[in-house]
Amino acid sequence: MAGTSEPGAGKNRKRPAVKLASGVVDPAASRVKSTIHLNVEDSQRLDIHATMMGMDRSALVGKLIRDHLRRYVISDRGGPAEEPGKASVRLAEPTPESA
């Protein structure tokens, strides 16, 4: 019959996993998906700036965070093993250029 479909007859919608050469670290493995809401003008500025710098939006946002959000430092002091992931937060000393 023309209306029946058999399993496997349609397109496989899942993309196959990319296999990396041994010893190669997947850069996406250390990334976290985050959703932000921007107004139209800010989104356009981000697009244009990323394009002009030859970067994607995520790389540009990461660079902006690393370059401009330095006041707070997160540090794991290697505490007891029964408290994995517990981190301490401390204020960084103001630098002359941020004052």
Does residue 52 belong to any structural domain of this protein?
Answer: yes
Q: Which has the closest alpha carbon to 53: 2, 69, 61? A: 61
Does residue 56 belong to any structural domain of this protein?
Answer: yes
Tokens representing 86?
A: 């517990």
Predicted local distance difference test score (pLDDT) of residue 99: 47
Counted domains in the chain: 1
Of residues 9 and 99, more confidently modeled: 9
* Domain carrying residue 54: 38-70
Does residue 50 belong to any structural domain of this protein?
Answer: yes
Distance CA 78, CA 76 (A): 6
Does residue 45 belong to any structural domain of this protein?
Answer: yes
Predicted local distance difference test score (pLDDT) of residue 78: 80
Does residue 90 belong to any structural domain of this protein?
Answer: no
Does residue 13 belong to any structural domain of this protein?
Answer: no
The chain-wide mean pLDDT, for the chain, equals: 76
Residues 6+ apart with CB under 8 A from 98: 70, 71
Does residue 64 belong to any structural domain of this protein?
Answer: yes
4-45 per-position pLDDT tens digit: 555 555 666 776 666 656 656 666 678 899 999 999 999 999
